[in-house]
Amino acid sequence: MKYALSTNWCAREIETGEEIADKALSLGFDALELGFNTTALQAEGFRRRLGEMPVGSVHAFCPVPISAPQGSPELYTLAAGDADARAIARFHIMKTVRFAADMGASTVVLHAGRVGLGTLFDRNAGTASLFDIFDACGRKADAPKFAKATAKALARRRERGAKLLPVFFSELHALVPELEAAGVALALENLPYLEGFPDEIETLETVKEFEGGPVKAWFDTGHDRVREMRGWLDDAAKEARKALLEGDAVAGMHLNDVKDYFDDHLAPGEGSVGFEAFAPLAAKVRHVVFEPKSHVTEERLAASLAKSPLAKTG
- Return the CATH number at 262: 3.20.20.150
Residue 129, in any domain of the structure: no
Residue 134, in any domain of the structure: no
pLDDT at residue 311, rounded to an integer = 62
| pTM of the predicted model as reported, rounded to 2 decimal places | 0.95
* Nearby residues of 17 by Cβ (< 8 Å), 6 or more positions away: 7, 38, 41, 42, 43, 44, 45, 46, 47, 48, 49
pLDDT at residue 313, rounded to an integer = 40
Rounded Cα distance between 125 and 68, Å, is: 28
Q: Is the pLDDT of residue 314 over 50?
A: no
How far apart, in Å, are the Cα atoms of 18 and each of 41, 188, 214? 10, 29, 30
pLDDT at residue 1, rounded to an integer = 87
Name the domain count of the chain: 1
Residue 126, in any domain of the structure: no
Q: Is the pLDDT of residue 262 over 90?
A: no
Q: Is the pLDDT of residue 120 over 60?
A: no
Residue 182, in any domain of the structure: yes
pLDDT at residue 201, rounded to an integer = 98
The more confidently predicted of residues 51 and 119 is: 51
Which of 30-34, 74-78, 115-119, 213-217 bottoms out in mean pLDDT, i.e. has the lowest? 115-119
Residue 133, in any domain of the structure: no
Residue 131, in any domain of the structure: no
- Look at residues 127, 107, 109 and name the one whose alpha carbon lies nearest to residue 117: 127
Residue 279 is part of which domain span?
4-115+164-313
Residue 158, in any domain of the structure: no
Q: Is the pLDDT of residue 70 over 90?
A: yes
pLDDT-derived band of residue 128, with 50, 70 and 90 as boundaries? confident
pLDDT at residue 3, rounded to an integer = 96
Contact call for residues 266 and 259 (beta carbons, < 8 A): yes
pLDDT at residue 307, rounded to an integer = 86
Percentage of the chain exceeding pLDDT 90: 84
Q: Is the pLDDT of residue 124 over 60?
A: no
Mean pLDDT of 80-95: 96
Residue 96, in any domain of the structure: yes
For residue range 20-68, list pLDDT tens digits in order.
Answer: 999 999 999 999 999 999 999 999 999 999 999 999 999 999 999 998 9
